């Protein structure tokens, strides 16, 4: 079971269809069952029986999650692999001590892989879609896996399978989510 976390400003917002539904489709297409919960309602029991967590992105002006970072404190001890996408990466970085910094970017960017972690194996350069108002200064316990001209695009915890990507893989790089699942969530 994959736990998909909706970071949109409110449960069942219209943004859900742009940022959460595509991730649900990718997970389903990869053969994994999933359950979706809004970040404001995550409870300890929501991790029972879960093999991985995906934190979805949000709309450009939707930053409620950033004012409620402590709601993500459970990530510090999360026993399963985590992938944060855009706002999800920002939440991951912030809860581990990194910084979220203003940086408006919209459109395609060239992403250079610095460390070929399993998710990015065989990729040296690829194009990705970014839509964000903030970038991440990763905490010391994370290594940078990929960058673009605009800054950090992918990070990984140095000792745990906790990842973040600032670009939106649901737009043109579904393989990122699929590889994360195949590599870290076990058989579908």
Residues annotated as catalytic (active site), given as ranges: 86, 168, 170
CA dist., res. 67 & res. 82, Å (int):
21
Residue 50: is it exposed, middle or buried by C-beta count within 10 angstroms (0-12/13-18/19+)?
middle
Of 110, 42, 55, 109, the residue nearest 87 (C-alpha): 55
What 8-state DSSP symbol labels residue 150? T
CA dist., res. 68 & res. 129, Å (int):
26
Would you say 69 and 91 are in contact if contact means Cβ atoms under 8 Å apart? yes
For the record, the structure tokens of 9 come out as: 């400003």
DSSP state letters, 17-34? HHHTHHHHHHHHHTT--E
CA dist., res. 47 & res. 42, Å (int):
9
Instruction: Name beta bridge partners: 20.
Output: none
Secondary structure of residue 175 in the 3-state scheme: helix
């Amino acid at each position: 079971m994959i736990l998909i976390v909706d970071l949109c400003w409110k449960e069942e917002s219209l943004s859900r269809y742009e940022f959460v539904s595509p991730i649900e489709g990718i997970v389903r297409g990869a053969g994994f069952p999933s359950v979706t919960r809004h970040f404001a309602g995550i409870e300890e029991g929501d991790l029972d029986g879960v093999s991985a967590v995906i934190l979805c992105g949000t709309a450009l002006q939707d930053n409620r999650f950033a004012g409620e970072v402590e709601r993500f404190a459970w990530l510090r001890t999360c026993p399963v692999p985590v992938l944060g996408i855009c706002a999800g990466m920002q939440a991951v970085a912030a809860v581990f001590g990194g910084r979220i910094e203003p940086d408006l970017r919209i459109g395609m960017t060239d992403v250079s892989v610095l460390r070929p972690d399993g998710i990015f194996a065989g990729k040296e350069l690829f194009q990705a879609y970014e839509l964000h108002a903030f970038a991440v200064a990763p905490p010391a316990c994370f290594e940078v896996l990929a960058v673009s001209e605009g800054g950090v695009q992918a990070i990984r915890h140095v000792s745990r399978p906790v990842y973040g990507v600032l670009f939106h893989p649901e737009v043109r790089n579904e393989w990122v989510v699929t590889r994360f699942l195949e590599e870290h969530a076990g058989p579908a």
